Structure 1
């Protein structure tokens, strides 16, 4: 990672939406306001063996996975999801924890410190930038990915909720082209996914790789697998009821209807209201927006980036 974030960022930049630019760092396009904090994470974050890190590309199911992970680890405190947004319960390393200092911000009871022996964090930082950090630790990482076409549509909707979008929306045609070229926050998407996919094959005991579609198709089975991976399996005669309760309390409909997640207020760490993190949560929503030609373009890219590497996913 670079020693001087600003100089490195501005030596390689590109517009991705209107006058908004991204900085290119080690092959990935990052939002300028987070490059210095990402640099802090890379240089100063020392994960403990007991830490759990949820990694993901933006808009691939992060909010849902945060809810599930929190409920699995803090079963007696899962009711807190009714009063706290999942992003407050599991802070983002580069956005909340290392936002302003080389020292991590104190984790208050409203964040991941309920279970003091298991710290929970999340990140959108690509593995390629975090390799030394993760490879030197026995911490456990959960990575979630989502169909590239649905990821594109979810990203497009999310960006158009930004305040800047009032000055001019992000056209879907532009968003599609930027996505395919990899010039979107944390992109290229395919490189981001494959970095963690390869790690899951090399260190299956340390990285749990799951797709949004798998989880949607059979949440109970995968919640049980997640609990076993995290070292806290469901036990007792009522374990099936325990699993069902976690799945139900973390369902999209239940979470979306909590007052905190319907709120139009914005957190201190990101200029978007809490309700912007809950839109639709559906599989296949891209069919309502993308033309056949665009779908073919993305599928061709998916075959090249995923299928050629043996990862048969995304189409």
Structure 2
């Protein structure tokens, strides 16, 4: 990645309209980014130096990030997992480009410099030098592209602008298929971390949302071992899985709050909708499903990643 790209003025970057008349994404290193995050992404790429004990949760937006944050926080800080009942997962595990590097080039000091957990939506292709130079652990979660699309569509339509200018589903579908969505193209984002997990399996844990939903006990136990916080028995694993279930988390007052955090325009409750697998079937036509499946076969299956259809 040529870091000089991130230092350019927005006026020098390729841009495309993705929603409404004046909403643009800007292309940086092959990926489409929201303009309000480009400078903070630049700071992360240039200045973030993860230490070996750091844990980075990476994901494309709307692929299970909130749940993953809850699970990993509970695994690493097992004696403090009760904090999830009074703190939103995104406040316990801050996003590098949204909460940490917004105004400064350094990570603020924390009470415990070991076992720090951060998250990011930055593609590996932009963050490669940072991650390749560190022994930190990376956990990447991905989700079926059709469910990712529908979840993104719902999420964007919670923005204030959507009250007057809803993001139409047919527009969202077309933009997604052309890679024109925040942090997109989705397929390139996923494959960047997928390839990294194959090259550095001791440092990168790649998991799908569907795997986690189908067998959380097995995969949470695997996560504990990968992160260096193994469980003593299945009872401990079950306790973490239960405390991080959608039903439990979504009913906490902090996660039902209509108050917006300082770091994002939407209220806390916007991060909890349904969490279902296969919800796209309620919104996408058979023709659209086949269109996306054909794209998935081209982008994933042809490269040996048989997932997403």
TM-score normalised by the shorter chain: which range applies? Answer: over 0.9
Structure 2 match to 1:299:
293
Structure 1 match to 2:218:
221
Structure 2 match to 1:91:
94
C-alpha distance in structure 2 between counterparts of 1:285 and 1:84, whole Å: 28
Structure 2 match to 1:64:
67
C-alpha distance in structure 1 between counterparts of 2:133 and 2:269, whole Å: 37
Q: C-alpha displacement at 1:241, in angstroms?
A: 1.2
CA contact (8 A) 1:61 1:144 kept: yes
Structure 1 match to 2:242:
248
CA contact (8 A) 2:5 2:28 kept: no
**How do residues 102-181 of structure 1 correspond to structure 2 at under 5 angstroms?**
102-107=105-110, 113=111, 116-181=113-178
Q: 1:155 is paired with a residue of what secondary structure? A: helix
C-alpha distance in structure 2 between counterparts of 1:234 and 1:166, whole Å: 47
Q: C-alpha displacement at 1:106, in angstroms?
A: 4.1
Structure 2 match to 1:231:
228
CA contact (8 A) 1:9 1:23 kept: no
Structure 2 match to 1:110:
none
Q: C-alpha displacement at 1:10, in angstroms?
A: 4.2
For the aligned residues, what is the CA RMSD? Answer: 1.1
Q: 2:62 is paired with a residue of what secondary structure? A: coil
Task: After superposition, give the CA deviation of every residue in 1:220-273 in whole Å (9 maximum; x if it has no partner).
Answer: 0000000000011012xxx21111110000000100000000000000000100
Aligned length: 306
Structure 1 match to 2:14:
12
Q: TM-score by structure 2 length?
A: 0.97
CA contact (8 A) 1:9 1:24 kept: no
Q: 1:21 is paired with a residue of what secondary structure? A: strand
CA contact (8 A) 2:142 2:207 kept: yes
Please tell me whether residue 263 in structure 1 is matched to residue 257 in structure 2: yes
Q: 2:4 is paired with a residue of what secondary structure? A: coil
Q: Which runs of 4+ in 1 moved over 6 A?
A: none
- For structure 1, list consecutive stretches of 5 or more residues without a partner in the other structure: 108-112
Q: TM-score by structure 1 length?
A: 0.95
Task: After superposition, give the CA deviation of every residue in 1:7-62 in whole Å (9 maximum; x if it has no partner).
Answer: 25643101100021001000000000000000000000000000000000000000
C-alpha distance in structure 2 between counterparts of 1:219 and 1:11, whole Å: 42
